[in-house]
Amino acid sequence: MTKRKYFFFDIDGTIAVGEPGNQYVPESTKKALQLLEAQGHFIAIATGRSYAMAKDYMKTLGFHNMISDGGNGITINDELLGIEPLDYDDCVALIRECEEKDFIWTFSPDDRTRRLAPDERFYDFTHDIYMDTVVKPGLDPLDYDQINKVYVACFAPDEQKLEALKKLPWIRFHKEYLFVEPNDKSRGIKRMVDHLGGDISDVVVFGDGPNDFKMFSDEWLCIAMGNAVEGLKEKADYVTDDCDQDGIYNACVHFGWIKE
């Protein structure tokens, strides 16, 4: 076989087509993944989602390896090796500033599929069902040992008023609120490949969205989907077709990793 490669795929807009809850994986993508594994290559998901929210996707898609939590979680052969939380003091400082400036906040203290809120305002403002929002009156982050994610409800550019936010990684997927969460998938990729005894120059990443920018490193081959945001296409080494137009399969054929 050719030299073993380490493939990492984003989920939404890369492997999976459609909106969360109504997604499918193109048959050509399934075929490409099967052929890559048959050739002895390593394949893994690389997602910003928490392990709890991504593990079912991993199984459904037929993967056994995953970078989750925006680079802070590593799963190899279906075993979660660990998840690093956000900087605790910086998160507490952000929540305190939100309280002082009347910003609506919630946070996740662990890897469960829910976030905690001190009142009903977060749901009333966002009507978001991405995960359950559990109201705990008198909620205080100091009652918890760690913080994995913080969510701040506001419209852009109001988040610029939060000085503490500048010390934390964050991204906005929805106009009503932003995610304060790890967003450097490349960090997890390096840790995983090192754990496996591989060479990072043999890494190949596929992505499409703004949370894939840090995953697109000069240290390895970066492939943007045809439906990717323009900035990611500009950063990519190669731009393939859309995810629903055989993009992954066609790229693998182009580079000779699989044969038609």
Gap between the Cα atoms of 17 and 22, Å rounded: 8
Q: Give the domains, in start order, of the chain with CATH numbers.
A: 6-84+183-254 (3.40.50.1000), 88-180 (3.30.1240.10)
The phi, psi pair for 259, rounded to 5°, reads -110, 140
Q: pTM for the whole thing?
A: 0.84
CA-closest candidate to residue 207, choices 185, 188, 174, 178: 185
Q: For the chain, state the CA radius of gyration.
A: 19
Residues of the chain with pLDDT under 70: 1, 20-21
What order do you get walking across the sheet with 149-153 strand by strand? 132-135, 114-117, 104-108, 149-153, 177-180, 170-174
User: What does DSSP say about strands 114-117 and 6-9: parallel, antiparallel, or unpaired?
Assistant: unpaired
Gap between the Cα atoms of 124 and 109, Å rounded: 22
Q: Which residues pair with 206 in a beta bridge?
A: 9, 223
Q: How many angstroms separate the first and last alpha carbons of the chain?
A: 16
